[in-house]
């Protein structure tokens, strides 16, 4: 889902058919995600995170809901633990952080290994020896903030403008093929090897103006599995 509308993008300077405008909006949205490491719409993800002393699990994105939590064991994922075994906090609430708080001091006599006489949840986790958990849930903002939407539109226009070579560029580089309007219609990649670059946070969106708009939304959290 785009963070801005076609009308916003056109007002910012994006041109072309509706499909072309939508493509630039999506390209800009992906760059914003890579730059901020945030999700500005509800997104289902699978997250693997470390368990800190005391049972605190810091999650890398704004938490909306948690569907399943399971220990990561040497032989594979362990059984999903019930919601009574952890507490969820979200940065959506002022003063809170995005985290799971495992109930080390609790117990459940209906769960094998977590009974009160077996040491409760702490005893079970010690026997598991799990240092990480896999979390399935919904993460992200309920909707894109105003500045993010504005940034999406401006960045789409900036990316389109930079992708359109000038007549001078075309004259200097014979590999560029342009139409009568100066649009690049063909680029040949001389590298036969597939890219093996690891996706990582970008140092900039490519636009200092957009960087400034998004400064308050930067998040350098841990990496995700099954997500962005």
Give 91-107 pLDDT, tens digit per residue.
889 889 999 998 777 78
Contact call for residues 178 and 186 (beta carbons, < 8 A): no
User: Domain coordinates of the chain in residue numbers?
Assistant: 6-40+143-185+202-217, 43-139
Structure-block tokens of residue 23: 């493509």
pLDDT > 90? residue 67: yes
For the beta carbon of residue 218, count every other beta carbon within 10 angstroms. Answer: 12
Give 151-172 pLDDT, tens digit per residue.
999 999 999 999 986 554 545 5
83/100 Cα distance (integer angstroms): 11
Q: Is 202 or 214 the better-scoring residue by pLDDT?
A: 214
For the beta carbon of residue 7, count every other beta carbon within 10 angstroms. Answer: 10
Give 5-60 pLDDT, tens digit per residue.
999 999 999 999 999 999 999 999 999 999 998 899 999 999 999 999 888 999 98
Q: Is 215 left (phi over 0), alpha (psi -120 to 50) or beta?
A: alpha
Handedness of CA 74, 55, 104, 80 (dihedral sign): negative
Determine the pLDDT at residue 63. Answer: 93
């Amino acid at each position: 889902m785009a963070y801005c509308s076609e009308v916003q993008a056109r007002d910012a300077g994006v041109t072309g058919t509706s499909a072309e405008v939508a493509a630039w909006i999506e390209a800009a949205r992906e760059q914003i995600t890579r730059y901020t490491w945030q999700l500005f719409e509800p997104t289902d993800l699978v997250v693997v995170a470390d368990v800190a002393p005391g049972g605190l699990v810091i999650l890398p994105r704004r938490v909306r809901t948690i569907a399943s939590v399971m220990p990561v064991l040497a032989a594979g994922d362990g059984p999903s633990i019930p919601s009574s075994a952890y507490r969820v906090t979200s940065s959506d609430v002022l003063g809170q952080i995005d985290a799971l708080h495992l109930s080390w001091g609790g117990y459940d006599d209906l769960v094998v290994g977590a009974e009160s006489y077996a040491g409760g949840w702490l005893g079970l986790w010690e026997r598991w020896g799990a240092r990480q958990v896999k979390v399935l849930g919904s993460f992200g903002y309920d909707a894109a903030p105003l500045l993010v939407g504005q940034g999406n539109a401006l960045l789409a226009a900036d990316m389109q403008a930079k992708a359109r070579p000038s007549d001078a560029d075309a004259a200097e580089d014979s590999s560029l093929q342009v139409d009568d309007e100066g649009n690049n219609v063909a680029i040949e990649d001389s590298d036969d090897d597939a890219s093996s670059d690891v996706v990582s946070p970008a140092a900039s969106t490519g636009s200092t103006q957009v960087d400034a708009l998004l400064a308050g939304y930067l998040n350098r959290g841990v990496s995700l599995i099954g997500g962005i």
